[in-house]
Amino acid sequence: MTQTAIRWEKDADNIVTLTLDDPTSSANTMNELYTRSMADTVARLQAEKADIKGVIVTSAKKTFFAGGDLKTLIQAGPEHAAQFEAGVTEIKRQLRVLETLGKPVVAALNGTALGGGLEIALACHRRIALNNPKAEFGLPEVSLGLLPGGGGVTRIIRMLGIQNGLMNVLMQGQRMKPAKALSAGIIDEIAETPEEMIAKARAWILANPAAQQAWDVKGYKMPGGTPSTPALAMNLPAFPSNLRKQLKGAQDNYPAPKAIMCAAVEGAQVDFDSALKIEGRYFTKLAVGKHSKNMIKAFFFDLQKINGGGSRPSKTTYPEWKSKKVGILGAGMMGQGIAYVSAMSGIEVVLIDAAQEAAERGKAYTQKLLEKRVSKGQMTKEAAAEKLALITPTTDYSLLAGADLVIEAVFEDRKIKADVTKRAEAACGAELVMASNTSTLPITGLAEASRNAKNYIGLHFFSPVDKMPLVEIIMGKETGDEALAKAFDYVLQIKKTPIVVNDSRGFFTSRVFGTFCMEGVNMLAEGWNPISIEQAAAQAGMPVGPLAVLDEVNLELTRKVRLQTEKDLAAEGLPPLPVDAAVPVIDKMLNEFKRPGKKDGAGFYEYPADGKKFIWPELFKAFMKADKAQPSPADFAELQERLLYRQSIEAARCYEEGVLRSVADANIGSIFGIGMAPWTGGQLQYINFIGVKEFVRRADELAAKHGARFTPPKLLRDMAEKGETFQ
């Protein structure tokens, strides 16, 4: 018997139920088996339609349909464009047959329908979703550098109109819960149970025997009008400029949003089938391009590997673990954030500070965030009160008794960290996992204060903790696998993404992040216009410019870290830090100009109380040179290149030195923790994007021109010679 991904059942009322159920996978995807199965299914529907009253499309999986087959898609290069477009055209042909069958077709969405899954549902005349709290609906292809290529753009625009369709569904790639999807108009009805869902689908079919898509009915008019409608025509010219503003000038590195906009507007001016062809051409161009490959690798394959436990010790040896009680030492900015995310995950929290008032302020931070959620209708008052009650603010270390994990988040001072570590461990059992939130100090050294270095580990959170998705787990030289497994599980428990790195000064994220910041100051030292430096970062795809970032971090802290590092290197008999032109600039900002950063209202930027920040005017006089006030296009492109190359070279060094344990950790860590431009796919994937051989050649040019910091490590030279890439 031929294998199929679609089961056919016809009941006594002659209603056919098509159950999507790929026997080769735990999820349904638009793979070769699906395409062949759907072709056979729609052919049978056409042949037997005289004996059919309607069709229900549902799924046997936990999700309705997972979307496109990304394993196949990521392999498609420009040379496969014609073949790829033909395959996409066939998928759309099948869905077009389904919606023009002349019989009512209902999608019974038992779970998540994203991307291709929702596109199947959009080709049905009615969409009824199960009120499943885990279910999500939407067309998130833009986040992978793609557009919905299975008819999603064409149908959404005809359902919702150009403006609503673009803004509310297509351009942002929102993933919506059932209620939101209903209000957005991408599903029509919600059912509380599977039985009710199917019953509603059957009832609708029987009540609507002549169902058609709105766009197939004579006299159909697109909501909001077409591009030739005067009111819409007046607004359309603003769309591209708004997109440029949204992408901060980096639109060339994010071709998907522009392609979605073009497919929508061009498709709205022609008939439905011609619009599908236009959509298909734009989709193919994106799919075979390198930008989508980067984003698919990072946001699907690398992220899936990490969240799936790729960096975690075996669950067979170390079973899945959940923390029940967490102690947090230090109720400052980081400690209070860690307390919040822990309590939100249902973990009991003891928040300790040297003063009771400070501990209370730390708890008040959670209260404020909870009140905000309640005011937005995201949480009930009762649920918020339960979460808040989980946090106990105190100065009493004895209240840590029974804690299975303690995280110190005190000042970056070894003596203070050692003191609080000893006090916490004295109050807890031998199985306690002791963690430090340090961002720079080596874990191996901090573990010397612990009674059990095997259970001492680094948990580096990012600020603000409630918003930043990453936690960097740092393994000291003596940290054991059991501590790693527990730390990894805790990070997943609080709904963060964990990467695992080995110990070193600055670990991975702080070390590489520092190169981005300091390269921006090096440019300032060379005399480049500070506005050009910040704009180069924006157009390269970085979320914030290096000067603005340093203001956030604080220049005084930056100098303290540098001086501590120099002191440590000298004590260890290691070579000093290389001479860097950025250092005198930072010293001058602190010593002469007294401008340490945002916290003091004065750094590279001015921070007016009643307006937006702007570059401090005296910065131009102090550092900018006349011949570099207006960089040429080539100079500006090189500024962008330097900011990205500098980070990727340092990431490659981390990989060579064994600080990074996997390519996935490097790519996801750099995007989620540092803000590496998402279009690159991460710092090591950026090297793949350029091509390792070409990257090494260009890095050597930059090193000859700007200094040894751009010299590629031996690892990259060896990879270039062997034709290898980061996998």
What letter represents residue 259's amino acid? A
DSSP string of 368-436? HHHHHHHHTTSS-HHHHHHHHHTEEEES-GGGGTT-SEEEE---S-HHHHHHHHHHHHHHS-TTPEEEE
Residues 284 and 292 sit within 8 Å (Cβ to Cβ): no
DSSP for 485-539, written as a single string:
HHHHHHHHHTT-EEEEEE--TTTTHHHHHHHHHHHHHHHHHHT--HHHHHHHHHH
Q: Which long-range contacts (CB under 8 A, 24 or more apart) does 646-649 make?
A: 646/515, 646/516, 646/519, 646/709, 646/710, 647/512, 647/515, 647/516, 647/674, 647/676, 647/683, 648/683, 648/684, 648/686, 648/687, 648/695, 649/515, 649/699, 649/709, 649/710, 649/711, 649/712, 649/713, 649/716
Sign of CA dihedral 553, 554, 555, 557: negative
Cβ neighbours, 10 Å, residue 8: 16
Active site residue 460: yes
Instruction: State the catalytic residue, choosing from 80, 125, 291, 460.
Output: 460
CB 150 within 8 Å of CB 88: yes
Amino acid at 159: M
CA nearest to 687, candidates 661, 722, 720: 720
Q: Which two tokens stand for residue 202?
A: 């059957």
| Residues 6+ positions from 697 with CB-CB distance below 8 Å | none
Q: For the stretch 288-299, what's the b/e string if a residue is b when 16 or more beta carbons lie within 10 angstroms of its beta carbon?
A: bbbbbbbbbbbb
The residue type found at 412 is: E
Beta pairing, strands 605-606 & 29-30: unpaired
Q: Residue 85: phi, psi to the nearest 5? A: -65, -35
339 Cβ contact partners less than 8 Å away, ≥ 6 residues apart: 328, 331, 349, 351, 362, 363, 365, 366, 391
- β-strand pairing of 325-329 with 126-130: unpaired
Residue 454 is classified by DSSP as G
Closest CA to 53 of 105, 108, 113, 1: 105
DSSP annotation of 439 reads S
Taking the C-alpha atoms of residue 375 and residue 372, their distance in angstroms, rounded to an integer, is 5
Judge residue 129's burial from the number of C-beta atoms within 10 Å of its C-beta, 0-12 exposed, 13-18 middle, 19 or more buried: buried
How many residues does this entry show for the chain? 727
Give 218-277 as a DSSP string: TT---TT--TTSHHHHHHTTHHHHHHHHHTTT-GGG-HHHHHHHHHHHHHTTS-HHHHHH
- How far apart (Å, rounded) are the C-alpha atoms in residues 113 and 107? 10
Burial (0-12, 13-18, 19+ Cβ within 10 Å), 166 = buried
Active site (catalytic) residues: 460
